[in-house]
Structure 1
């Protein structure tokens, strides 16, 4: 609930002084190790060069903190057809945003990412997942705290499971991050779409403070890393 109230304050704040005071606090929360120069990241990209022959759509499901940020980042990539924000991994059916924000439903804020395997591979999506957030902080991303903000990969098949485990092992062995990865790797079960106002959140609310101070910097950093793989260069 603390996080929900904090977000509402940021979104609704009308005082520039208030925002200026909070800016360093939020910026600090968004910084994490850049793995784009790691050998494992290069391995993901190299593996992704061999795209699947089929253009049949597939799905990846990731939780990496606030789904407003995750959605906006993955929407940038060529081969990603759609990104839907929602809730998964919990026990409460049809949860609301307020319920999930209590941390008592077991759900994580997550995104269902529909993609074309002939244009982008699961390896490349995993590379994007690890760039998009800090996978070494347990139940926290920046100032968003709680199990609903945990780092998680919800795999849809044995191949996705294998690749997730493999790359986490490789990143840890390489010590790509100062700390061990705590990303949960678990089977995909039931995904509940978030309320309509959460979908395409940044696109519809780009001027609000949370988007300016949190979502936009993460999107811009993501775009810098994935130059050449963006829908709009």
Structure 2
């Protein structure tokens, strides 16, 4: 599964708590420029890449559909190219599908979630392109920097919301 919903540090932290998730890798995809993008280049908004995560999971423990519901409720899928203070196409809400079945499921989940939001869902659903792994400093960012200002101000509230809404799907329930 490959998704983007704002800064990859946030969604990586969310999915690292989900039961059945085996690995989460932060990276970039969806761009139109040649070469391997860097964080600085992607943050410029000029490469067309989105900050995303790739999630490896055990389908016997959690379904792709459940992962998408968690994704769609852990960020605001109604804001175009923006999550909180992060603005630009690199922060777009996007689901990159790897198979046609994933595309079908993503479209169903987006339609099912839509009534819970006041504004229309703007999450892009597109085929996966080449995925580039982000630099080492961006992997397990929250786990390695949880007391940093961005983490306490932005990621901690997302994790609190996750724990409240999806406690039954988490590895370790924290209150």
TM-score, normalised via structure 1 length: 0.72
Deviations 1:170-207 (A, max 9, x none): 333xx221111000000011110000000000111111
Residue of structure 2 equivalent to 1:201:
141
Residue of structure 2 equivalent to 1:133:
75
**Structure 2 counterpart SS, 1:228:** helix
Task: List alignment gaps of at least 5 residues for structure 2.
Answer: none
Q: 2:161 aligned with 1:221, yes or no?
A: yes
CA distance in 1, matches of 2:21, 2:169: 10
**Structure 2 counterpart SS, 1:231:** coil
Deviations 1:76-133 (A, max 9, x none): 0110001000000102321000000110100000000000111100110011111110
Q: Is the 8 A contact 2:72 2:113 kept in 1?
A: no
More helix by share: 1
TM-score, normalised via structure 2 length: 0.95
CA distance in 1, matches of 2:47, 2:66: 31
Residue of structure 1 equivalent to 2:22:
81
Task: List alignment gaps of at least 5 residues for structure 1.
Answer: 1-59
Of 60, 74, 82, which aligns to 1:118?
60
Higher alpha-carbon Rg? 1
**Structure 1 counterpart SS, 2:167:** coil
Of 140, 162, 187, which aligns to 2:127?
187
CA distance in 2, matches of 1:127, 1:169: 11
| Deviation at residue 228 of structure 1 after TM alignment | 2.0
The count of corresponding residues between Structure 1 and Structure 2 is: 172
